[in-house]
Amino acid sequence: MEFKDLPVPFQEMASNVVRSQLATLDLSTVEKETIDTISGNVRRAFIGLYEEKRLFGGQNSPENKNQANDEKLKHIIALLLEDAKRLQQLEPNAGTEARIWIAMKSLKCESSDYFKTTIKTTQLSGELLKKLP
């Protein structure tokens, strides 16, 4: 899968992450390779996160054919990005992709545990619990 194959909302979220990462840098002195690394890490992370929807059911399951599943995944990614920002404070040397995957760890579960997992993932932040559907 390539970045262009992701749904537009996922591409927009990824571009927002890149923009927020670049906002922390002094762009007049940063190397092009650093910018390429940041955008590459975010691109790979979002492709991986989107492909993780298989966790919510097999590729041919009704859940994956249902657009609601994409909405659930989009919601989880948004929550995880907020968790990733908080994890950046705990693990400042970890890259964007690493922080997102650290937050992603707790999602390794059965599809029936979707809401439990979302709550578990967001327990570190009371604010995130208010954003659950």
38 within a domain of the structure (yes/no)? yes
| Domain membership flag for residue 43 | yes
Position 118 in a domain: no
Residue 57 within any structural domain of the chain: no
In a domain, 129, yes or no: no
Domain span at residue 38 reads 6-51
Asked if residue 39 belongs to a domain, the reply is yes
Q: Could you give the angle at the alpha carbon of 48 between the alpha carbons of 115 and 82, nearest 5°?
A: 55
- Whether residue 92 lies inside any domain: the answer is no
Would you tell me the crossing angle of helices 67-90 and 8-23 to the nearest 10 degrees? 10
Q: Report the alpha-carbon distance of residue 81 to residue 95 in Å, rounded.
A: 13
Could you give the number of structural domains in the chain?
Answer: 1
pLDDT in tens, the chain (133 residues): 788 888 888 888 888 888 888 888 887 888 888 888 888 888 888 888 777 764 555 455 554 455 666 666 666 676 666 666 665 555 555 554 444 544 444 444 333 344 444 434 433 344 433 443 3
